[in-house]
Amino acid sequence: MRRIIRIFVVAGVMAAGALSAASPAQADDYCPRGYHCLFILDLGSAQKNFFNSDPDFRNDYFPNSGSVDNNSEAVSNHSTNNAYRTQLYYGYNYSNPNFCVNPGGEVRNTFLYNDGIAGNYVGEANESGSLRLIAGSSSACLG
């Protein structure tokens, strides 16, 4: 029994190592240097690039598509010098934190929970209404 437990622990550590090695993203593949990018579907779809914090997505639009408000499903952070994480909020003016993405990180739409109803404060995708740049990274971030 003891031996079996030990094998599981080792496997878990190896899995964690593989995940952390895979995630220090290729943020530059999808998001210009210095920007925090939101996508209407997955990475590589129509995107809106933010250089600074934005308190209200209602006046931001994906190219040839709808408003960014309650309409983003993936995030790529290409902050230079690992300076700022991307903190997203359910509400406007940085109210009700949703999730964050660390400098150089990215989160695909398959990774975010989406209950299929935009803007109902349930789930992570299709919910955000504002974005703030916060200095440094956080272990609480999703990507």
Burial class (CB in 10 A: 0-12, 13-18, 19+), 128: buried
- Identified binder of Ca ion from the candidate list 120, 135, 136, 140, rule CB under 5 A: 120
User: Which residue in 20, 59, 64, 139 binds Ca ion (CB under 5 A)?
Assistant: 59
Burial category of 82 from C-beta neighbours within 10 Å (exposed 0-12, middle 13-18, buried 19 and up): middle
- List the one residue from 115, 135, 136, 140 that touches Ca ion (CB under 5 A): 115
| By CB under 5 A, residue 123 contacts Ca ion | yes
Contact range with Ca ion by CB under 5 A, out of 23-31, 33-41, 60-68, 104-112? 60-68
**CA-to-CA distance for 117 and 121, rounded, in angstroms?**
9
**51 belongs to the binding site for Ca ion (CB under 5 A):** no
